[in-house]
A and B are shown apart, each in its own frame.
Chain A
Amino acid sequence: MQGENSQFDAASATPALHLQAIEKSFGDNRILTGIDLQVRAGEFIALVGPSGCGKSTLLRIAAGLERPDSGRVLLNGKDLTAARAADRDMAMVFQSYALYPHLSARQNMALPLVMRRLSALERLPWVGRFIGETRAKLAAIRQEIEQSAHTLKITPLLDRKPAQMSGGQRQRVALGRALVRHPKAFLMDEPLSNLDASLRVHMRTEIAELHHRAGVVTVYVTHDQEEALSIADRVAVMMGGRILQLDTPQAIYRDPQHIDVACFIGSPRINIIPVEVSSNRRAYWGEVELARGCEFPDEGAFRLAIRPEALKLHSDPQPGAFAVHLHRVEFLGVEALCHLVLPGSDVALVTRQSPEIATQLKKQMDMSHVLYASALDTDWLAFNENGQRVALHLPTQVTPIALSRLHDEAFI
């Protein structure tokens, strides 16, 4: 299920990078099924998903480091499926950086250019530089490296070996090695996951800026959903070898098409309440009616989901509110998380409140004290038994999808 957001006008019909109908298994393990990914020119796409969902494998197939069982890899219309990685003109940044430990930063960055521009004869140690135009080529390479080093602010590190650099510095050298090639696509395999949290946030912006400057297609693999949402033009959520949804970050967040997407994206996790929809097409948790005003397309078992920030708490009963018990409050400085429980069950809910309100609520906290939770009709998301998103009929005839468009326009 892939939603196409019309906010982006497709500039050209041919995608810059097209992974078409990719299937891949390792022995009995189905790693990728029916993958179709089209990346537009200059776009930054994040592949995000839990460990084992196949995102790294997909990236390696794009790079040419793995062969798909079936399907094609097309770059600017050209079929590269049979081409080996060295011939694809794509650069990759690895999670472990994969810098050559015995070479300096400069030599690491020079290697891809040396391998491509100098013949085997010219590459011979000592003797090579007396052959032909080797010296001129090497000088040109040197200059390009200095330029890239300047961009990445690693000029003072150029003569150091990887062991003499910090994680963040190695990261930049790895980026530099990819950058100097001026490739047609950048492929990044969790490049920031080995860095500590604050450095990660900082490097995120740098990578985004680099991409903006280079203007080249970038496919970025990560398991960190926050990272994916923050830097990508579009996000592909992958699970169990499939792409569940490919959309802008806002649409992924506001408008998940599958319950797995809704649960994976967003922190703290979205709240899920299992409900029974009766013949009157209204949702009931036990005796309590939830999402009053929302009409379901069918009767049966469904799951209602609501984001923590969309759930409001009141000390007194409100129309449309339902009873909850306050279990615990977590103070996080700028906000507080209130952990709730639906009475008589272990269904846990989380809401975000301001610290002041949370303090007030905490003062009244004990297991038997009841609070009331409510949410806007438009904030409820519904998913059927298969996990697929179903549209709810709202009294004002405004569809949730159109509403999220209104929200987005308000932010632009």
Chain B
Amino acid sequence: MMASSYFLRGLRIVLLLLGAAFVLAPFVFMVSTSLKPQAEVFSSTLQLVPQQWFAVSNYTKALTRIPMGQVLLNGIYVCLAIVVFQVLFALPCAYALAKLRFRGREFVFGLVLLGLLIPIHAISIPLYAAARSTGLLNTLSVLIVPFLLSVFAIFLFRQFIKSIPDDLIAAARCDGLSELAIVWRIVLPNAWPAASAFAVFSVVAHWNDLYWPLIAISKTELATPPLGLLFFRAAESGDDYGALMAAAVVITLPLVMFFLFAQRMFIEGMTMSGLKG
């Protein structure tokens, strides 16, 4: 492309900065309000810097009104467990679909495609009924079990594994590896980009999920971050925006920090799962 003039380059920066201001505004106000006492929040000014430093009080409330630390840990535990199990169950099946020849392969893949069309929210009712009758409600396991299988993972991995050279697998077989060993020793290391891409996608999706935890959990100490914040809103009086913003900061921070450290992985992960899917 021909080099553009300084004017155009400057225009681009200006436009992008304007957009960035709009995008960042909520974050700025979130942090600013979390530092203010209620009186200041309700004063009619647009001042960002607090006159009275109320951070300690707000953040203490955020962390103690509901067991925020526990909630965050729950979130991390649940999301990690989900990702691990999803990869665990999806990878062998994806490998079989991609590289092995067997009767019914097309049928199984058809089931996978069908599964992609079923949104988890729609089938929450029978899942809830089943969880209730087996007494699994209000446990951390109930947050994990419905998501053990990700058909999207099977679909994504299959695409990726197909591009692994057949010769590599043939060589492994000659070396005496069983099919299961091939999956974990050959396929997984080679499919690492797809696996990490999917992991990013899955963690972001499940970290944000409110629907299922809302139905399945009522105890605060078992809440995941979205539900925890909802409980906090219920526990706190509707007007304490300072504390609410502090809670929002605390609960948003982990994933944002993780993102800022691993930006490339995140962005490549989301686009890769997106474009391949």
Contacts and interface: CB of A to CB of B under 8 A. Distances in A.
Interface of A: 65, 67, 84
A67 B3 CA distance: 9
Nearest to B2: A84
A84 B3 CA distance: 11
Nearest to B3: A67
Nearest to A65: B2
Contacts of B3: 67
A65 B3 CA distance: 10
Interface of chain A: mostly helix, strand, loop or mixed: loop
4 contacts: A65-B2, A67-B2, A67-B3, A84-B2
Interface of chain B: mostly helix, strand, loop or mixed: loop
Nearest to A84: B2
A71 B55 CA distance: 64
Nearest to A85: B2
Contacts of A65: 2
Interface string B1-34: 0110000000000000000000000000000000
Interface residues of B, number: 2
Interface of B: 2-3
A177 B30 CA distance: 57
A80 to B, nearest CB: 14
Contacts of A84: 2
B6 to A, nearest CB: 15
A98 to B, nearest CB: 14
A399 to B, nearest CB: 49
B112 to A, nearest CB: 28
Nearest to A64: B2
B14 to A, nearest CB: 25
Nearest to B1: A65
Contacts of B2: 65, 67, 84
A67 B1 CA distance: 11
A327 to B, nearest CB: 36
A94 to B, nearest CB: 15
B128 to A, nearest CB: 48
A84 B2 CA distance: 9
A314 to B, nearest CB: 51
The 4 A-B residue pairs whose C-beta atoms are closest, nearest first, are: A84-B2, A67-B3, A65-B2, A67-B2
A293 to B, nearest CB: 59
B1 to A, nearest CB: 9
A77 B2 CA distance: 24
A48 B176 CA distance: 52
A67 B2 CA distance: 8
A88 B3 CA distance: 18
A88 to B, nearest CB: 13
A378 B3 CA distance: 53
B8 to A, nearest CB: 15
A84 to B, nearest CB: 7
A65 B2 CA distance: 7
Contacts of A67: 2-3
A288 B3 CA distance: 60
Nearest to A66: B2
B15 to A, nearest CB: 24
A69 to B, nearest CB: 12
A65 B1 CA distance: 7
A346 B102 CA distance: 59
